[in-house]
Amino acid sequence: MCYRKRLQLFILFTTILTSALFAQEEDKSIRFETSFWGYADNREYKTPRTIDQTIIGSRISPSFHFTLQKNHHLHGGIHYQKDFGSRNEDRVFPIAYYNYKNKSIDFYIGHTPRLIILEDIHYAALSSTFLYERPNLEGLMFHYHDDKTQQKIFIDWTSKQSEVDREQFLVGWNGTSHFGNFFLSNDALLWHNALTKNSDPDEHIRDNAMVMLRGGYNFSSFTRLDSLSLDAGILLGIDRIRSEYDFQFSRGFISNLHMQWKTFLLKNTLYLGEGNQLPMADPYYYSKKYDRLDLGWIPFKNNFIEAQLLLSFHFTPGYFDNQQFFKLKYNFGQKIL
């Protein structure tokens, strides 16, 4: 790890520990928290636009949690991540965010771990590789939730404008509303790819978006399975490169099946329609026909630890790809003051 990063980490932890001196009042507290995420993702891909690769490694994320007042919380720490066998420099990312929390509202601003707030976003909106390459949402998120509804709105800056880097950010909307056994799900994502500071005539601003609306039914109470649900809806893709071409639209049908019995699960996603130009989504959605079948096993899961093995099969016209994925998550927290 280079000297500059060592200095940054020293300053970060010094700030955190100094702040602890002010957390002695009755309505304040300090918790030490750490999480571990181990992953092994083997992708045997041949479909165009996909990357055949194996992503295997681990990430540990120690942090301090300060309750400033009843609804106001600060978090500070680091992610330390290393892919197995990598000769590259170790990857270190800050954890530094504020969280306002009450019965129905969560508000986050800062470098917020993506596994906490956006792990389950649909792959038609955001590729799974974001969990490996960008462990934090760097921006803001508003989350409303009650017994029947949960809705998230977020903005995530993925690149700051410079002489060589474009300004890039994501704006997203994700949620589900329940009406008895019926439910409605909504997803939307806008990716704005702006220019560098001294852009040349060959650079153009790109606006890329997707909207997905689905209706479904939970059949769990009618079966011996622990859970069974089916949904279907529309996926709309929108793409524009300014001064190159105007808005282009792609439309398609998408459905999702999820079932679980004890520690075993099965998921299936089917997409039929026009090929999408969605750089932030899994590349399979460029295809006009795509089916994904997931077979999973969850050997153990509780409030502290979860392990999951997933075998995924990807079907597109003329191609059959497969993927083996294993993850282990562990979370620990201890009040220290």
pLDDT tens for each residue of 79-103: 999 999 887 777 899 999 999 999 9
What's the pLDDT score for residue 246? 94
Full set of structural domains in the chain with CATH: 3-335 (2.40.160)
How far is the first Cα of the chain from the last one, in angstroms, to the nearest whole number? 31
Model confidence pTM above 0.75? yes
For residues 162 and 185, give the distance between their C-alpha atoms in angstroms, rounded to a whole number. Answer: 37
Average pLDDT over residues 60-89: 90
* DSSP H or E stretch at residue 3: helix 3-20
The larger pLDDT score, comparing residue 302 to residue 213, is at 213
Dist. CA 289–CA 272, nearest whole Å: 5
Cβ atoms of 158 and 139 within 8 Å: the answer is no
**How far is it, in rounded angstroms, from Cα 232 to Cα 115?**
26
**C-alpha distances in Å from residue 31, one per residue of 66, 237, 260:** 7, 43, 35
Residue pointed to by tokens 């479904």:
216
Q: Indicate the average pLDDT of the chain.
A: 91
> Phi and psi (nearest 5°) for 260?
-145, 140
